């Protein structure tokens, strides 16, 4: 036992050290408060979500899910919500399985234009054909005129938005949807921004829509999947098939953690999302001053999300990525047309949790500039890193609260 326990402890200690000393700029991760994490240790984990005598404790799980649904109704204005899936991709997979059939045809955002690379694989596996959404790579936005022509000339069972790399969310009001066109909208990256009123909630104006996603990007929560809708026909299909049709066992402690995260978000969410917006703008302008090429969605705007696209050559991309790894700065390198072939994706959602002001963001921009060099100055980088690490103190959380 000692051998295996020693290996385990070594890995956990290594992770904790790296986590404490990293500069987090990965757009796909977030800070989760100790307040929310306490729920993961609950012994409600392992209980089934059925309110029957076969599964003692299942009635409490059902009440837990009802509590989470009530929170989502208040925050997202959702009539129906489901939390039985574990991640954003599992939520969209099960939603597609519940709502679409073998031989259906859909219109999707593809990986080349920022769409999630798993979506085409899922559709092909389920026997669902798809067409690529028309896209303007100059504007980093869907080509709505061409998309509407496709909608008017071809029959689609659904339109699926599932974007991982995005500077601006889809403007759904620009589509000429047919009355029976179903919209499956994976907003994993922007779920928190929608909850914080920084991005328009599409369920407020569209009826025939499923809003879903993972909870660990801009919504600062442990991993969980949310599936929401206000359409009665869609709800009846989801409710009858998701659980216990496809899913028998769920992760109730993750639902409990999501509840605490949503309670926390009700207190801090709007202020936190405003900080994301401000941090993105300040950092983008500073990076421009350092000579970086930053993508823009208009003459006056870089991004409507937490993401920043740095456009680079292949050599610059690899050099910066390697240096970032060396100095424990998390970011993503990208090789796709959306980045004019090569680039770096930054996310400011986690550093925004620390409430950094312009001084800290200036230091961060300087750090990124140093990391872009072929032979970076170790001493200068470590001085800045030490300063920024000392400022990793969360301000938008209940971390000082105690849960009984």
- The most confident of 49-53, 127-131, 220-224, 298-302, by mean pLDDT: 127-131
Q: What is the pLDDT of residue 111?
A: 93
Q: What is the pLDDT of residue 53?
A: 57
Note whether 224 and 258 are within 8 A (CB): yes
Q: What is the pLDDT of residue 245?
A: 85
Note whether 34 and 393 are within 8 A (CB): no
- Confidence band (pLDDT; 50, 70, 90) for 51? low
Taking 50 as the threshold, does the pLDDT of residue 344 lie above it? Answer: yes
- Confidence band (pLDDT; 50, 70, 90) for 353? very high
| Fold entry, domain 24-31+268-390 | 3.90.1150
* The pair of three-digit structure tokens given for residue 107, joined into one six-digit string: 């219109």
Taking 60 as the threshold, does the pLDDT of residue 202 lie above it? Answer: yes
Average pLDDT over every residue of 306-334: 98
Taking 70 as the threshold, does the pLDDT of residue 56 lie above it? Answer: no
| Pairing, β 182-186 against β 158-162 | parallel
Q: What is the pLDDT of residue 157?
A: 95
pLDDT per position as a tens digit, 63-103 = 999 999 999 999 999 999 999 998 999 999 999 999 999 99
CB-side neighbour CA atoms (13 Å) of 320: 24
Average pLDDT over every residue of 352-374: 97
pLDDT per position as a tens digit, 150-193 = 999 999 999 999 999 999 999 999 999 987 889 999 999 999 99
Q: What is the pLDDT of residue 261?
A: 97
* The pair of three-digit structure tokens given for residue 94, joined into one six-digit string: 């099960």
Tell me the domain boundaries of the chain. 24-31+268-390, 34-263
Q: What is the pLDDT of residue 54?
A: 61
Q: What is the pLDDT of residue 73?
A: 97
Average pLDDT over every residue of 319-347: 97
How far is 48 from 251, CA to CA, in rounded Å? 8
Nearest to 363 by CA among 377, 380, 350: 380
Angle CA 249–254–260, to nearest 5: 145
Q: What is the pLDDT of residue 394?
A: 94
pLDDT per position as a tens digit, 110-136 = 999 999 999 999 999 999 999 999 999
Which residue has better confidence, 401 or 230?
230
Q: What is the pLDDT of residue 55?
A: 67
Which residue has better confidence, 180 or 254?
254
C-alpha torsion 283→289→291→296, nearest 10: 60
Taking 60 as the threshold, does the pLDDT of residue 404 lie above it? Answer: no
Eight-state DSSP code of residue 321 = H
* The pair of three-digit structure tokens given for residue 47, joined into one six-digit string: 């209980």
Taking 80 as the threshold, does the pLDDT of residue 402 lie above it? Answer: no
Average pLDDT over every residue of 127-150: 96
- Which of 49-58, 231-240, 348-357 is predicted with the least confidence, judged by mean pLDDT? 49-58
CATH architecture of 34-263: 3-Layer(aba) Sandwich (3.40)
Q: What is the pLDDT of residue 213?
A: 97
Taking 50 as the threshold, does the pLDDT of residue 403 lie above it? Answer: no
Taking 60 as the threshold, does the pLDDT of residue 369 lie above it? Answer: yes
Average pLDDT over every residue of 344-352: 98
- Confidence band (pLDDT; 50, 70, 90) for 243? confident
Taking 70 as the threshold, does the pLDDT of residue 254 lie above it? Answer: yes
Q: What is the pLDDT of residue 399?
A: 81
Nearest to 161 by CA among 151, 153, 172, 150: 172
How far is 24 from 324, CA to CA, in rounded Å? 11
End-to-end CA distance of the chain: 33
């Amino acid at each position: 036992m000692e051998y295996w326990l020693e290996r385990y402890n070594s890995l956990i200690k290594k992770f904790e050290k790296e986590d404490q000393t990293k500069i987090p700029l990965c757009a796909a991760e977030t800070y989760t408060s100790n307040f929310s994490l306490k729920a993961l240790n609950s012994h409600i984990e392992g209980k089934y979500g059925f309110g029957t005598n076969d599964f003692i404790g299942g009635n409490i799980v059902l009440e837990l899910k009802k509590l989470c649904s009530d929170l989502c109704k208040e925050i997202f204005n959702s009539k129906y919500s489901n939390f039985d899936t574990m991640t954003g991709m599992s939520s969209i997979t099960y939603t597609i399985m519940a709502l679409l059939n073998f031989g259906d045809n859909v219109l999707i955002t593809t990986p080349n234009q920022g769409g999630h690379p798993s979506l085409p694989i899922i559709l092909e596996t389920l026997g669902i054909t798809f067409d690529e959404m028309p896209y303007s790579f100059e504007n980093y936005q869907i080509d709505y005129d061409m998309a509407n022509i496709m909608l008017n000339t071809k029959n689609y069972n659904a339109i699926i938005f599932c974007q991982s790399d995005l500077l601006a969310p889809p403007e759904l009001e620009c589509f000429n949807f047919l009355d029976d066109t179903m919209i499956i909208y994976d907003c994993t990256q922007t779920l928190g921004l929608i909850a914080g009123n920084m991005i328009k909630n599409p369920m407020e104006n569209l009826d025939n829509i499923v809003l879903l996603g993972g909870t660990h990007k801009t919504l600062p929560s442990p991993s969980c999947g949310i599936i929401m809708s206000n359409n009665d026909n869609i709800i009846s299909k989801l409710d009858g098939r998701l659980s216990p049709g496809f899913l028998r066992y769920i992760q109730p402690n993750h639902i409990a953690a999501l509840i605490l995260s949503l309670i926390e978000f009700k207190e801090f969410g709007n202020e936190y999302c405003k900080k994301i917006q401000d941090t993105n703008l300040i950092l983008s302008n500073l990076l421009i001053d350092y000579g970086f090429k930053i993508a823009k969605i208009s003459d006056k705007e870089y991004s409507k999300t937490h993401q920043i696209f740095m456009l680079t050559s292949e050599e610059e991309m690899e050099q910066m990525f390697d240096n970032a790894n060396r100095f424990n700065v998390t970011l993503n390198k990208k090789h796709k047309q959306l980045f004019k072939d090569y680039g770096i994706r930054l996310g400011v959602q986690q550093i925004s949790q620390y409430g950094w002001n312009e001084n800290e963001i200036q230091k961060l921009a300087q750090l990124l500039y140093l990391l872009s060099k072929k032979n970076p100055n170790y001493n200068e980088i470590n001085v800045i890193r030490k300063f920024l690490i000392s400022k990793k103190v969360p301000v938008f959380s209940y971390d000082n609260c105690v849960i009984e």
